[in-house]
Amino acid sequence: MRNAAGQSIHPVTRLVATIFAIASIFINHDLLLSCGAYLILFLLLLLNVKLLRSHVRFLLVVGLPFLAMFTLVYVVFLNNDPQGSFPDGFSFAAFVFLRLVLLTSVLQLFFFIPQNLLFATFSYYRLNGNLLYIWVGANVVWTDIASRSDQIITARYSRGLVANRNFLNRLKQLPYVIKPLLAGIFVTAFERSSSWKQKNILKHIEEMPRENFSFSFLRDILILLASVSWFTLSILTIS
């Protein structure tokens, strides 16, 4: 994350805190601890508007429907029977939902790296060479693919090929989107790879001076302490 002064979390802090957080998510079996952990993570997400918006969208579009379906299955379909160490189906459904949401939140925080530190951060993690370019490329070209799909569907609308804007008609567009999308992907791949070779882009990246990390020691320590505490409490819940 970046604060107003343009600082970021140090890569070591980012990685270690994430490892402890993910371990805690899997070790923990206490619903209250999960709720508390989520509250703290949500407060961290509040520090950045873009991240918060993305998380709220995830909750509304993905998370809450998941909870509804879990509730339907474990409470209605399975008669709210006890599941494992949980006294009833709803507690179990809420716990699994929270675990999914916590993992997504932790990953969103981990991957929220300023653009100018993207290469430096992953180089720090010894993710060099081909894997680095693939990782960065996959993060970036997603908007390209999304905009192409949108343009293809728009082209179909504008040619009157989509009769009504109902769910079924939108679903029927899928096969008609995949073909031109794949054609576009190959065209782009051939042109872009030739352009990379011509410009020697990969050598440029290797020679590009990596940004120096500017981070707040106090904030990083607090993040590490929080993640270690969460891990410790999770271990205690086992006993």
**Stretch 147-186 residues interacting with other proteins (CB under 8 A):** 147-149, 151-152, 154-155, 157-162, 165, 171, 174-176, 178-186
Please list every residue from 47 through 66 that binds other proteins, using CB under 8 A. 54-55, 57-58, 61-63, 66
Beta carbons of 10 and 213 less than 8 angstroms apart:
yes
Count of positions (residues) in the chain: 239
Q: How far is the CB of 124 from other proteins (least distance, A)?
A: 17
Alpha-carbon torsion, ordered 113, 116, 122, 125, to 10 deg: -90
Distance CA 38, CA 79 (A): 28
Cβ-based nearer residue to other proteins, 19 or 216: 19
Please list every residue from 105 through 134 that binds other proteins, using CB under 8 A. 107-108, 110-111, 115-116, 118, 130-131, 133-134
Q: How far is the CB of 64 from other proteins (least distance, A)?
A: 11
**Does residue 10 touch other proteins according to CB under 8 A?**
no
Q: How far is the CB of 95 from other proteins (least distance, A)?
A: 9
The b-or-e profile of 79-102 (16+ CB within 10 A means b, else e) is ebeebeebeebebbbbbbbbbbbb
Cβ-based nearer residue to other proteins, 205 or 222: 205
Read off φ and ψ for residue 200, nearest 5 degrees: 55, 45
**Does residue 87 touch other proteins according to CB under 8 A?**
no
Distance CA 216, CA 113 (A): 15
